[in-house]
């Protein structure tokens, strides 16, 4: 049995996915293999992508698989190992709303693997063994005690082999009922919020630990429900939710980096980069049996997320660490000894096979390592371009509310950039012709990703520009009409000699700009957004206000006549109004013009 096992679970499509008639992009081939975007798939948008990527794992579960089936096949055998003296960690990974919490906690009718494990723990517990429990969450890089809510922001302390959480509450548990109550209460304190994708999204990583103790030995069983990896755009998160999202993504990226280093057997593994990876150091460095439950949906609405999760999980399958039995001073009965002997035999067999493989296929291992690095490079550059394009679009929107998001995206870009740089450095040692060819292919793929992200960005910007232009065009046409009416009224109030130059200036302005600036149809349309024209309009309305006394004078003269007819040179319409209509119209038109100028400027 491998020390690090990976199971993938595909959840049934949810209401949103069904309503959108989304297509399935996953094809489960057997209990161990899955094809992403198989050759026959067509997405909801009709666009055929067909990456046709095959992945294999220790277990693959489909939409109909139940928590009980998963527990019996993947978790229960690991509990044997726990009782034989091995530490054990089960963690759920996946995008937001992919079903992690459902797998761990389950529902009333379908208890998750946590509750099923608990039943087994109590069933197998020997009189000389005790069980203790602790429960924390990591929220925004802060560790909070879920068994004592006053105990927040706990610190970590490095011991020889493990990292300890200082002042952590540990409660001795003696019955299932007592433990259920404690856990259910603790869940209420866990940070959850509604996001665009999940009405009850976990915003923290939760780590539940059971210590199985005898007089001489302690083994640990960790059940971890990670917060969902998320693309900030998809979850529509802002403010606090967005900060949480960034912190979640950062710690998951740190975990991914540790997994990569482990699968390449690097001597240095960057555990210290996040609280999550510091806590998991003991688990991941071979002192624990590990089951990673990777949750995904088959819907093509989550195309990128599913691909990312499957790739992340695939990387974990390369980890070949040897778990050590957790011996302090251990007294084992015959059955336990037999189990350990069997375990050691299996591992020994595995080692012999690995050694043989290593001797014969040294260069193949190099190729595998190169493949892994290139795969990660493609992933991290894709993430980089995605973030860059998201940021560029926010910058284009030029909205003050975006400033914070832009800063956060820049931070993520920086991380992805650093990771890509490190990976590129690693590529330098692969110098054979075959390796160079692979590297060249990967670079073409990276370039392709970049171009496709840029073309999406370009499409979004053009669409937005067209919306803006259509709006501006409409406002300008309307503005000209209003201006014309206003000119006539103003001429009555101010006299033609004062108004005529302003009218001339107003009418001439667009021609100058068009001639100077228009290079294409788009430019021509944009040139109508004429600052000079707006300025003239504003001056014009200002003049009318400044000339208020003159206007009153004119109006007084007007009293003598009940109505008046006037034609202004250069304007086509006649006006025939009385004093009150005149005043009302002038006020209304002036304010309309001001509003429109403001509207154009804002756009
Ligand atoms: N296998 C499944 N069968 C039925 N319903 C499921 C399954 N998996 C998930 N769901 C439902 O999908 C929704 C989202 O699942 P869940 O909350 O477990 O996602 P999550 O990955 O924990 O999300 P987040 O990271 O946002 O906390 C829930 O309503 C859950 O009941």
Q: DSSP labels for 75-101?
A: IHHHHHHHHTT--EEEEEEEBTTSSHH
Give, using CA atoms, the residue closest to atom 9 of ligand 1: 99
Least confident segment among 166-170, 190-194, 492-496: 492-496
Cα of 208 vs centre of ligand 1, distance in Å, is 19
Q: Find out whether the beta carbon of 3 lies less than 6 Å from any atom of ligand 1.
A: no
At 61 the three-state DSSP class reads strand
Residue 96, pLDDT score: 86
Q: Find out whether the beta carbon of 201 lies less than 6 Å from any atom of ligand 1.
A: yes
Phi, psi of 432 (to 5 degrees): -65, 160
Residues of each annotated binding site for ATP: 94-101
Cα of 406 vs centre of ligand 1, distance in Å, is 30
C-alpha–C-alpha distance, residues 39 and 49, integer Å: 8
* pLDDT tens readout for residues 298-332: 999 888 889 989 988 988 887 765 445 554 434 45
Q: What is the DSSP letter of 29?
A: -
Average pLDDT of span 192-203: 66
Cα of 101 vs centre of ligand 1, distance in Å, is 6
C-alpha–C-alpha distance, residues 370 and 179, integer Å: 47
Average pLDDT of span 254-278: 85
Please, which pLDDT band fits residue 129 given cuts at 50, 70 and 90?
very high
Q: Find out whether the beta carbon of 11 lies less than 6 Å from any atom of ligand 1.
A: yes
Answer whether 130's CB lies under 8 Å from 148's CB. Answer: no
HSE-CB at 481 with a 13 A cutoff on CA atoms is 6
C-alpha–C-alpha distance, residues 423 and 417, integer Å: 10
| Closest atom, ligand 1, to C-alpha of 94 | 21
Q: Which tops the pLDDT comparison, 578 or 425?
A: 425
Residue 536, pLDDT score: 54
Residue 591, pLDDT score: 67
Cα of 494 vs centre of ligand 1, distance in Å, is 71
Please, which pLDDT band fits residue 344 given cuts at 50, 70 and 90?
confident
Residue 153, burial from CB neighbour count under 10 angstroms (0-12, 13-18, 19+): exposed
Cα of 97 vs centre of ligand 1, distance in Å, is 5
Residue for token pair 């006053």:
150
Residue 539, pLDDT score: 58
| Closest atom, ligand 1, to C-alpha of 104 | 18
| Closest atom, ligand 1, to C-alpha of 14 | 12
| Closest atom, ligand 1, to C-alpha of 228 | 25
Answer whether 248's CB lies under 8 Å from 140's CB. Answer: no
Answer whether 69's CB lies under 8 Å from 60's CB. Answer: no
Give, using CA atoms, the residue closest to atom 31 of ligand 1: 102
Which of 17, 192, 198, 244 to mutate to test ligand 1, by most ligand atoms within 8 A of the CB atom?
198
Question: Which of 148, 137, 152, 85 lies closest to 251 in space, CA to CA?
Answer: 137
Q: Find out whether the beta carbon of 96 lies less than 6 Å from any atom of ligand 1.
A: yes
Residue 228, pLDDT score: 81
| Closest atom, ligand 1, to C-alpha of 9 | 1
Percent of the chain with pLDDT over 70: 65
Residue for token pair 């006299």:
495
CA 504 to chain centre: 55
User: 257 is written with which tokens?
Assistant: 């980096």
Q: Find out whether the beta carbon of 202 lies less than 6 Å from any atom of ligand 1.
A: yes
Buried b (16+ CB within 10 A) or exposed e, 493-519: bbeeeebbebbebbbebbeebeeeeee
Q: Find out whether the beta carbon of 100 lies less than 6 Å from any atom of ligand 1.
A: yes
At 498 the three-state DSSP class reads helix
Please, which pLDDT band fits residue 491 given cuts at 50, 70 and 90?
low
Q: Find out whether the beta carbon of 97 lies less than 6 Å from any atom of ligand 1.
A: yes
Q: Find out whether the beta carbon of 94 lies less than 6 Å from any atom of ligand 1.
A: yes
Would you put residue 223 in left (φ > 0), alpha (ψ -120 to 50) or beta?
Answer: beta
C-alpha–C-alpha distance, residues 251 and 261, integer Å: 15
Which of 7, 8, 11 to mutate to test ligand 1, by most ligand atoms within 8 A of the CB atom?
11
Question: Which of 479, 533, 473 lies closest to 506 in space, CA to CA?
Answer: 533
Give, using CA atoms, the residue closest to atom 23 of ligand 1: 97
Cα of 205 vs centre of ligand 1, distance in Å, is 15
Cα of 179 vs centre of ligand 1, distance in Å, is 23
C-alpha–C-alpha distance, residues 448 and 601, integer Å: 38
Would you put residue 599 in left (φ > 0), alpha (ψ -120 to 50) or beta?
Answer: alpha
Residue 393, pLDDT score: 84
Q: Find out whether the beta carbon of 198 lies less than 6 Å from any atom of ligand 1.
A: yes
Cα of 198 vs centre of ligand 1, distance in Å, is 8
For residue 458, give every residue at least 6 positions away whose Cβ sits within 8 Å of its Cβ, in sequence order, or none: none
Asked if the model's pLDDT at residue 82 lies above 50, the reply is: yes
Cα of 103 vs centre of ligand 1, distance in Å, is 8
CA 112 to chain centre: 26
Q: What is the DSSP letter of 105?
A: T
| Closest atom, ligand 1, to C-alpha of 63 | 1
pLDDT, the chain, mean: 76
Q: Which tops the pLDDT comparison, 484 or 233?
A: 484
Phi, psi of 434 (to 5 degrees): -65, -45
Answer whether 219's CB lies under 8 Å from 125's CB. Answer: no
Residue for token pair 């509207």:
599
Asked if the model's pLDDT at residue 542 lies above 70, the reply is: no
Average pLDDT of span 121-147: 93
Cα of 386 vs centre of ligand 1, distance in Å, is 26
| Closest atom, ligand 1, to C-alpha of 107 | 31
| Closest atom, ligand 1, to C-alpha of 195 | 26
For residue 241, give every residue at least 6 positions away whose Cβ sits within 8 Å of its Cβ, in sequence order, or none: 193, 195, 203, 235
Please, which pLDDT band fits residue 291 given cuts at 50, 70 and 90?
very high
The DSSP bridge partners found for residue 139 are 142
């Amino acid at each position: 049995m491998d020390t690090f096992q990976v199971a993938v679970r595909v959840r049934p499509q949810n209401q949103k996915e069904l309503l959108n008639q989304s297509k399935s992009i996953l094809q489960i081939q057997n209990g161990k293999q899955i094809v992403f975007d198989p050759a026959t798939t067509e997405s909801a948008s009709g666009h055929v992508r067909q990456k046709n990527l095959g992945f294999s794992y220790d277990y693959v579960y489909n939409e109909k698989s139940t928590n009980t089936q998963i527990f019996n096949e993947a978790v229960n055998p690991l509990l044997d190992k726990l009782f034989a003296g091995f530490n054990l960690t089960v963690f759920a990974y996946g995008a937001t709303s992919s079903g992690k919490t459902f797998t761990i906690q389950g529902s009333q009718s379908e208890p998750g693997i946590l509750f099923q494990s608990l039943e087994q723990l109590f069933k197998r517990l020997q009189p000389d063994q005790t069980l203790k429990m602790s429960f924390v969450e990591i929220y925004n890089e802060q560790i909070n005690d879920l068994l004592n809510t006053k105990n927040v922001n706990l610190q970590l302390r490095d011991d020889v082999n493990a990292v300890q959480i200082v002042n952590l509450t540990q409660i001795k548990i003696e019955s299932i009922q007592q433990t259920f109550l404690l856990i259910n209460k603790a869940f209420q304190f866990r940070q959850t919020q509604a996001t665009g994708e999940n009405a009850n999204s976990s915003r923290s990583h939760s780590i539940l630990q059971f210590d199985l103790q005898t007089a001489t030995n302690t083994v640990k069983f960790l059940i971890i429900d990670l917060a969902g990896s998320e693309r900030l755009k998809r979850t529509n998160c802002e403010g606090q939710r967005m900060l949480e999202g960034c912190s979640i993504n950062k710690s998951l990226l740190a975990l991914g980096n540790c997994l990569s280093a482990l699968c390449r057997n690097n001597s240095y593994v960057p555990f210290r980069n996040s609280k999550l990876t510091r806590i998991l150091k003991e688990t991941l460095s071979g002192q624990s049996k590990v089951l990673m439950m990777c949750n995904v949906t088959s819907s093509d609405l989550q195309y990128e997320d599913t691909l990312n999760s499957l790739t992340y999980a695939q990387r974990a399958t390369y980890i070949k660490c040897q778990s050590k039995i957790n011996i302090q001073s251990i007294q084992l009965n015959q059955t336990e000894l037999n189990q350990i002997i069997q375990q050691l035999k299996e591992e020994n067999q595995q080692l012999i096979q690995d050694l043989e493989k290593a001797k014969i296929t040294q260069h193949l291992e190099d190729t595998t390592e190169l493949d892994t690095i290139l795969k990660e490079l493609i992933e991290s550059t894709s993430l980089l371009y995605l973030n860059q394009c998201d940021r560029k679009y926010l910058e284009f929107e030029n909205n003050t509310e975006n400033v914070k998001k832009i800063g956060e995206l820049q931070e993520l870009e920086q991380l992805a950039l650093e990771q890509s740089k490190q990976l590129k450095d690693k590529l330098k040692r692969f110098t054979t012709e075959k390796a160079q060819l692979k590297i060249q292919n990967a670079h073409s793929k990276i370039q392709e990703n970049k171009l496709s992200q840029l073309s999406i960005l370009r499409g979004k910007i053009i669409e937005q520009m067209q919306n803006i232009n259509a709006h501006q065009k409409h406002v300008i046409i309307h503005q000209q009409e209003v201006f014309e009416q206003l000119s006539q009224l103003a001429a009555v109030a101010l006299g033609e000699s004062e108004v005529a130059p302003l009218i001339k200036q107003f009418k001439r302005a667009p021609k100058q700009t068009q001639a100077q600036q228009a290079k294409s149809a788009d430019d021509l349309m944009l040139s109508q957004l004429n600052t000079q024209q707006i300025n003239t309009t504003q001056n014009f309305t200002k003049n009318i206000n400044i000339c208020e006394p003159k206007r009153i004078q004119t109006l007084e003269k007007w009293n003598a006549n009940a109505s008046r007819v006037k034609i202004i040179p250069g304007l086509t319409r006649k006006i025939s109004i009385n004093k009150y209509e005149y005043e009302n119209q002038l006020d209304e038109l002036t304010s309309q013009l001001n509003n429109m100028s403001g509207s154009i400027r804002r756009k």
